[in-house]
């Protein structure tokens, strides 16, 4: 049995209509709405063939048909038309660039919110991570009578901060002097490369202030380890409730619990990092509670070694064309913002 042009037209009509209405699609609906030039009876026969081939299915005995995961796969791989961003969507994405964003985590939060608002789906995004973070610059700044701020810039020009509590904070000149020695000792090193030889030399240079090295190095370890971990930001989790597919409370609860498990999201993001764009449909997801969902991920890059991933979760009848266009647009925008941000860190 061949998948001829007429069957493809009918399959496309079923998918388009079901994405829009969430209602099973019958032959009469296709005949009235899509002007294919064939009778309802002919459409019914073709639909029976499509069902037998596994591209559509009948959820109830008296209902119309809905696309199967296989049908959606054929659609996204071969039938889906490329959609351009609307002027309104483009302006919304561009507005991210015009904001005064100077922190990676804030940029990620705003990006997740923007995509979720545009698509009405759940969005999660990972901060960019390199294979191994190396220290480019260290600064120490006095905060108050008992605290100093450790500022670390990695060689990828990402800035990380950590507040260090001390019993007594030395005078400002001494703090800057300690920062100078730290910067000279650790510059160009990854955390695991800092050995006892480096530490002993630094202790000697710090002299009477060598006691500061213990809390500072502990803060350095925490900050650098955080720089190498995948940090995930999420927005629009409750959007799932708006879709009739998740009106079953137990199904929705199970999906919510999965989305709250950061390890699951990190795994999804890590698995898709090697692909510029990846679409997992329904049963293609390895997580059981996401079998009724599609997950679309796109990778943004700052360099060959430093990248992050944006993911969108929705029902399998999600508007794939819109999501792909939004993701492609967002990848271009976020890469531009990150370049500006890292260039500013570099200049600073």
Of 109, 121, 168, 103, residue with least CA distance to 142: 168
What is the model's pTM? 0.77
Query: Tens digits of per-residue pLDDT, 134-183?
Result: 888 999 999 988 899 999 888 766 778 889 998 888 889 999 999 999 99
User: pLDDT averaged over the chain?
Assistant: 86
Domain coverage including residue 338: 87-129+231-347
Q: Are residues 268 and 180 in the same domain?
A: no
Q: Say which CATH number the domain at 55 has.
A: 1.10.10.10
Q: Are residues 159 and 216 in the same domain?
A: yes
Q: What is the pLDDT of residue 27?
A: 93
Give the pLDDT of residue 119. Answer: 92
Q: Report the pLDDT value the prediction gives residue 107, as an integer from 0 to 100.
A: 81
Residue 307 has pLDDT above 60, yes or no: yes
> Does 202 lie in the same domain as 147?
yes
Q: Taking residues 284-304, report their average pLDDT.
A: 87
Of residues 316 and 260, more confidence is placed in: 316
Same domain, 161 and 214: yes
The pLDDT of residue 236 is 92
Instruction: Give me the percent of the chain exceeding a pLDDT of 90.
Output: 39
Find the helix or strand (DSSP H, E) in which 348 lies.
none
**Distance between CA atoms of residues 127 and 156, nearest Å:** 13
Q: Are residues 117 and 261 in the same domain?
A: yes
Gap between the Cα atoms of 304 and 196, Å rounded: 32
Of 68, 118, 61, 130, nearest in space to 93 by CA = 118
Alpha helices in the chain (DSSP H): 5-21, 27-34, 40-52, 69-74, 87-98, 104-119, 172-186, 196-206, 213-228, 249-260, 262-272, 320-347
Residue that finishes a domain, picked among 204, 228, 252: 228
Residue where a domain stops, chosen among 79, 111, 145: 79
66 lies in the same domain as 15 = yes
In sequence order, the 6+-apart residues with CB closer than 8 A to the CB of 149 are: 139, 140, 141, 142, 143, 161, 162, 163, 164
What's the structural domain count of the chain?
A: 3
Task: Let me know whether 148 and 173 are in one domain.
Answer: yes
The CATH number covering residue 286 comes to: 3.30.450.40
68: its two tokens: 């199967």
Confidence of residue 15 (pLDDT cuts 50, 70, 90): very high
Rounded Cα distance between 291 and 286, Å, is 8
Could you tell me the CA-to-CA distances from 300 to 75, 77, 275 in Å, in that order?
Answer: 25, 21, 10
Q: Are residues 207 and 312 in the same domain?
A: no
Average pLDDT over residues 96-123: 80
pLDDT in tens, 184-213: 999 988 888 888 888 899 899 888 888 888
Residue 99: pLDDT over 70: no
Judge if 58 and 24 occupy the same domain.
Answer: yes
Q: Is residue 331 domain-shared with residue 240, that is, in the same domain?
A: yes
The answer to whether residues 58 and 100 belong to one domain is: no
Are 107 and 246 part of one and the same domain?
yes
């Amino acid at each position: 049995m061949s998948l001829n042009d007429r069957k493809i037209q009918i399959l496309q009509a079923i998918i388009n209509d079901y994405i829009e209405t969430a209602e099973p699609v019958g032959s009469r609906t296709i005949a009235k709405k899509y002007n294919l030039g064939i009778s309802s009876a002919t459409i019914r026969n073709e639909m029976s063939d499509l069902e037998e081939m596994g591209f559509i299915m009948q959820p109830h005995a008296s209902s119309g048909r809905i696309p199967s995961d296989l049908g959606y796969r054929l659609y996204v791989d071969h039938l889906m038309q490329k959609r351009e961003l609307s002027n309104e969507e483009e302006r919304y994405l561009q507005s991210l660039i015009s904001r005064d964003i100077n922190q990676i985590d804030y940029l990620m939060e705003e990006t997740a919110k923007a995509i979720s608002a545009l698509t009405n789906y759940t969005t999660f995004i990972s901060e960019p991570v390199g294979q191994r973070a190396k220290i480019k610059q260290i600064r120490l700044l006095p905060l108050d009578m008992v605290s100093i701020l450790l500022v670390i810039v990695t060689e990828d020009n990402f800035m990380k901060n950590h507040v260090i509590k001390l019993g007594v904070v030395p005078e400002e000149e001494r703090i800057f002097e300690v920062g100078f020695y730290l910067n000279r000792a650790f510059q160009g090193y990854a955390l695991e490369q800092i050995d006892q030889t480096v530490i002993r030399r630094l202790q000697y240079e710090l002299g009477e202030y060598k006691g500061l090295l213990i809390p500072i190095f502990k803060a350095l370890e925490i900050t650098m380890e955080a720089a190498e971990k995948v940090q995930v930001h999420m927005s629009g989790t409750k959007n799932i409730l708006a879709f009739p597919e998740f009106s079953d409370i137990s199904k929705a609860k199970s999906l919510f619990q999965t989305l709250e498990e950061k390890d699951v999201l990190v795994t999804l993001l890590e698995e898709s990092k090697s692909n510029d764009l990846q679409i997992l449909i329904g049963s293609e997801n390895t997580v059981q509670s996401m079998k009724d969902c599609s997950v679309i991920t796109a990778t943004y890059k700052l360099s060959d070694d430093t990248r992050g991933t944006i993911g969108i979760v929705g029902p399998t009848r999600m508007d794939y064309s819109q999501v792909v266009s939004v993701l492609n647009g967002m990848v271009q925008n976020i890469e531009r913002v990150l370049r500006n941000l890292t260039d500013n860190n570099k200049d600073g």
